[in-house]
Amino acid sequence: MDKKIENYLENLLPASPDSAKALEKYAEINHVPIIHRNSMHMINLILTMKQPQAILEVGTAIGYSALRMLEGAQDAKITTIEKDETRYLEAVTNIQEQKRNSQIEVILGDAADVMQNLAEKKKQFDVIFIDAAKGQYQSYFDLADRILISGGILITDNVLFRGMVYSDEETPKKYKTLVRKLKAYNEMLMNHPDYHTSIIPIDDGVSISYKR
């Protein structure tokens, strides 16, 4: 998206709550990747309409998006997975400070292993948000499909990856494999018979998939 349009849309957004602003500032100073505000606003619109009871997030970071999802789904229980121990501890602290630990469970571990375990326990989720290792999106999808209810929503962040999915010629060599995987993932989602998907070109690209 054109940066001027992106800035225009962000300036239209309502101000983040003070607790979210503090995390946004921390993330900026410490170079922690968190979801962009435009994308977060859109996700909360979806959650407000859906009102899910159970949300799974793949990729916690410092807990920013998990905490903000409760703005759209006030009664939801959120399970969120983080493999980096430092980020995990930061997320747990942030969630406890906002007194949301009764609604948000943070699990330390590899996302694929945790999702496999959830599938074996026959856990079910109304919404799944994938925002972790982009090269593993297909594996995460295969596992998510087992635990997402019919009528559920799958949301995937960063599917346009800095615009590099548009053209292989403009992709730096170090990103070529990742970009190929993302392109294959996007094509799979758009053509999957069990999902109706739209890719929204805001921020770094967000796909919204409805499971039939």
Residue 163: the pLDDT is 87
Span 156-183, mean pLDDT?
89
Q: Looking at this protein, which amino acid is placed at residue 156?
A: T
| Residue 204 scores a pLDDT above 90 | yes
Per cent of the chain over pLDDT 90 is: 91
Say how far apart CA 143 and CA 28 lie, in whole Å. 32
Model confidence at 167, pLDDT cuts 50, 70, 90, reads confident
Taking only the tens place, the pLDDT of each residue in 123-145 is 999 999 999 999 999 999 999 99
Say how far apart CA 92 and CA 7 lie, in whole Å. 31
- What is the pTM assigned to this prediction? 0.96
Say how far apart CA 125 and CA 119 lie, in whole Å. 10
Cite the beta strand spans of 98-194 per DSSP E: 104-108, 125-130, 148-157
Residue 173: the pLDDT is 87
Residue 166: the pLDDT is 84
Taking only the tens place, the pLDDT of each residue in 13-31 is 999 999 999 999 999 999 9
- In the DSSP assignment, the letter for residue 82 is E
CB atoms closer than 10 angstroms to residue 85: 9
Residue 170: the pLDDT is 74
Say how far apart CA 77 and CA 66 lie, in whole Å. 10
Taking only the tens place, the pLDDT of each residue in 101-118 is 999 999 999 999 999 999
Residue 6: the pLDDT is 84
Q: Mean pLDDT across the chain, nearest whole number? A: 96
Residue 32: the pLDDT is 97
- For 53, phi then psi, to 5°, come to -95, -30
The CA R_g of the chain, rounded to the nearest whole Å, is 16
Token pair of 85, please? 């121990």
Residue 1: the pLDDT is 64
- Cβ pair 103, 77 in contact under 8 A: yes
